[in-house]
Amino acid sequence: MTLLILDVGGSPVTLPESQKQGYKAYKEPGFVSVEMITRRTVLERRGDLWVVNYQYGFFTDDMMNQVIAACEKGRAQAILCSFLPPTSTGELLTAKFFVTEFNYPSFMWARSVTTTDGTTGEPQPMWADFSMVMREVQPSD
């Protein structure tokens, strides 16, 4: 089942399904700092923002490079993401998100890949322990 798609400039990256409770989407109240006429600053609630936490175990080299590029772009500017909310029956919601934090995966081991004709190719690195947190830009309700 697709949980999360990061769309960076028209080239979407579909992240693999997370295991062992590594995916969580929830709403948090969104506040804006407003300066009053008396020069006091107050927080004004503007609605609820979606927050998405995602963790994944093992990426191949190609997938890891795509995910890291999408996360780095999401730190600098808002990116379009489709995510699975907890109340959905499989339908994804789409909104603009900032990547508020992510960690680079670490190298775990190299794995040889066997092709369909039985030949073994070059060993490919496997990367692990990736996690990210995204926060919606504008309130969804």
25 in Cβ contact with 5 (< 8 Å): no
Read off the tokens for 82: 């489709």
- Cα torsion angle, 105, 22, 139, 33, sign: negative
User: pTM score, two decimals?
Assistant: 0.79
Residue with more model confidence, 59 or 42: 42
Distance CA 75, CA 66 (A): 15
Residue with more model confidence, 22 or 123: 22
pLDDT at 119: 66
Distance CA 79, CA 94 (A): 10
Say if residue 76's pLDDT is above 80. yes
Q: Minimum mean pLDDT among 38-42, 55-59, 113-117: which range?
A: 113-117
Tell me 38's DSSP state.
T
Say if residue 57's pLDDT is above 70. yes
The pLDDT tens digits of the residues spanning 6-34 come to 987 778 888 888 877 889 999 999 888 89
Residues 57-71, mean pLDDT to the nearest whole number = 83
Residues 75-100, mean pLDDT to the nearest whole number = 90
